[in-house]
Amino acid sequence: MLEIRKLDETAMKKAAERWNSIAKPLHSLGVLEEDVIRIAGMTGNPSVSLDRKAVVIMSADNGVVDEGVSQTGREVTAAVTRNFTYGNSCVCIMAERAGAQIIPVDVGVAEPIGECGHKYPLKHCRIMAGTRNMAVEPAMTREEAMAAIQVGIDQVRKLKEKGIQIIATGEMGIGNTTTSSAVASVLLGKEAEQMTGRGAGLSDEGLEKKIQVIRRAIALHRPDWNDPVDVLSKVGGLDLAGLAGVFLGGASFGVPVVIDGFISAVAALAAERLCPGCSAYMLASHVSAEPAGEMLLKELGLKPLIRAGLCLGEGTGAVAALPLLQMAVDVYESMSTFRDNGIEEYQEFSHA
């Protein structure tokens, strides 16, 4: 079991006092202020810096694609993963603007990926050539799921050693909205249709098939909702398990980790259920357009920064939140105070 310390209350109190001293209306940056205060608590330091940013992208294939739950085949996973290494994908272009380093991780891409681009070298951490078809058999063994979780933890440890101060999460894996919906259905105790959306764009018929596949897999394997590793191994994916490890690593090493969208949030919930308290080290970027997006963040007790109907994945939502957080930190660290300007401070009033 990982050791996770509680947020540093002294650092958070000092951060809140700093915000209240800045020459602007109290709490006027909303969730941005709250997140900066929480980052101070995560790091144990009221002086906040987010200059060194990274995006960890877990890539893996899902055997359930054989059931026709996606418009595209598993070959797309390998193609997009290669594009990450060349810096030629949506998240890479956005990360470059945000000043974030891309860390693409092959945790289970079916097609072997050899030499590719060198802009963002691929981390070869392949556990297996994609999961098995969960509609027929468990997606993976418990040991394989645990190995994928460890990959995520290890990535955070290495990034912390390199001085990275905040990590955004991303994923790539055709079929992973199906696995994510299945895991969410079990962990939240909700019917599959409440958790399942159209992913990259399914027809009504395709959506119904996807729901039926999820129902069948859950009924067949009966994953234990009280055992997140059991759920991930039976109806989850290697990318989900790897991301759960990133969230666990963030909490263990005191590094803020930004949730991307639906898939990332499912992994975050699995991590929180596995190690209660680790959600204190998570930040929510946006509300996914997938049906369970809002529900998952509410379960985690997190407030999103962005509401823009995002559903692209790859880490694009998490990366979009990084400049907002950076701007908030710039104000927090640099802006003059009421006292500096010879202005009377705003008063805090309680409301009935």
Reported as a single tens digit per residue, the pLDDT across 11-70 is 999 999 999 999 999 999 999 999 999 999 999 999 999 999 999 999 999 999 999 888
Runs of H (alpha helix) within 202-315: 204-221, 228-235, 238-253, 262-274, 293-300
Task: Provide the residue type at 211 as one letter.
Answer: I
Residue 352: the pLDDT is 55
Separation of alpha carbons 115 and 351, rounded Å? 61
* Set 33, 272, 299, 314: catalytic member: 314
Residue 173: the pLDDT is 96
Separation of alpha carbons 139 and 132, rounded Å? 5
Element (H, E) at 146: helix 142-161
Residue 204: the pLDDT is 74
Look up tokens 């951060």; give the residue. Answer: 15
| Contact (Cβ atoms closer than 8 angstroms) between residue 174 and residue 61 | yes
- Burial class from Cβ neighbours inside 10 Å (0-12, 13-18, 19+) for residue 201 reads exposed
* Residue 3 backbone zone (phi > 0: left; psi -120 to 50: alpha; other: beta): beta
Indicate if 294 belongs to the active site: no
Residue 5: the pLDDT is 93
pLDDT tens-digit readout, 236-249: 999 999 999 999 99
Q: CA distances (Å), 102 to each of 51, 299, 319, 327, in order?
A: 15, 29, 10, 21
Q: Which domains does the chain have, with CATH numbers?
A: 9-47+333-341 (no CATH), 53-325 (3.40.50.10210)
Point out the residues of the chain with pLDDT beneath 70. 1, 199-201, 350-352
Pairing of strands 53-60, 282-286: unpaired
